[in-house]
Amino acid sequence: MGFRTGFVIAAVSFLYGVLFIVSIYDFPLLYYSPFDEAAVEPAERFYLSLFNGPTAVQALLHGMMALGLIGLVAKLHRWTDAAKYYDGGSLVIYMAAVCMYGAVSVPNLRLIANPNNVDYLDRSSIRTQREKQAEDAAKGIAPPPPTGPMTGEERIAALRILGATNSIIVAMLAGVVLLQVSDWYLGRQEKLAKDAEREKQMAEILKVEGKKDK
C-alpha cells in the first residue's frame, strides 16, 4: 500500500471517527420509534458546539477531507485500467460525499445556529420543504407553509436532515473504502503472479544452464 492510498484511508478513517461520534446524536432522531423529542436538545447542542468550535477544529476536519482528495487525485496520474475504474470511481464517490456536506450539511448548520436568519433559511433544505408544502397546500391536501424565521418543527426537521445526510455520507465513504481495498487486493495478486512468473523463468534458465554444464 503506497502513501497515496494511505492518504485516502487515513482521511476516510478520520471522517468515520467523526461520523461515529455524530451518530450518537443522529440515531435517536432518525431511527428511534416512537420519536423522542428529548433527543433534539442534545443533538442541537452538539451541532452548535461543533459549528461554533475553535477554528482549529474546522481546519482539521476540512484538512483531512482535502487530504483524501489529494490522495485520490495523485493516484490517478498512473491512468492504468485499475486507476481509471477503482481510483476514478473512488474520486467520484468521495466528491459526491464532499458536495453533500457542502450543499446540505453546512447550510443547515448555519440555519440551526442562526434560526432567525431568513437568508440562511432560503439556502437550506427547509426552503425545499416549504416549497413542497406550498404545492400540497395549493392542491388542498396540506395547510400553507409557515413564513419568516424557522419554526420549532422545522428546527427538528433540519436536525433530522443533518442526520440523514450523515448516514448517506457513511455509505458513500464505505464505497470508497471498498474500491480502495479492491484496488490494493488486485494489485497484490498481480504482483504475486509476476513474482511467480519470474521465479518460473529463473528456474527454466537455471535448468538450461545446468544442461549446458553437463
Angle, nearest 10°, between helix axes 152-213 and 40-51?
A: 60
The model's pLDDT over 48-101, given as tens digits with 9 standing for 90+, comes to 998 888 899 889 999 999 999 998 888 887 777 777 788 888 999 999 999 999
**How far is 205 from 201, CA to CA, in rounded Å?**
6
The pLDDT-based confidence of 160 (bands split at 50, 70, 90) is very high
Residue found by looking up cell 464505497 in the block: 175
Please give the mean pLDDT across all residues of the chain: 87
Type of residue at 89 = G
Mean pLDDT calculated for residue range 135-152? 87
Task: Give the Cβ contact number of residue 97 at 10 Å.
Answer: 22
- Taking Cα atoms as reference points, which of 123, 111, 105, 109 lies closest to residue 47? 109
* pTM for this model (two decimals): 0.85
The pLDDT-based confidence of 214 (bands split at 50, 70, 90) is low
**How far is 89 from 30, CA to CA, in rounded Å?**
29
Side-chain-facing half-sphere of 135: CA atoms under 13 Å:
5
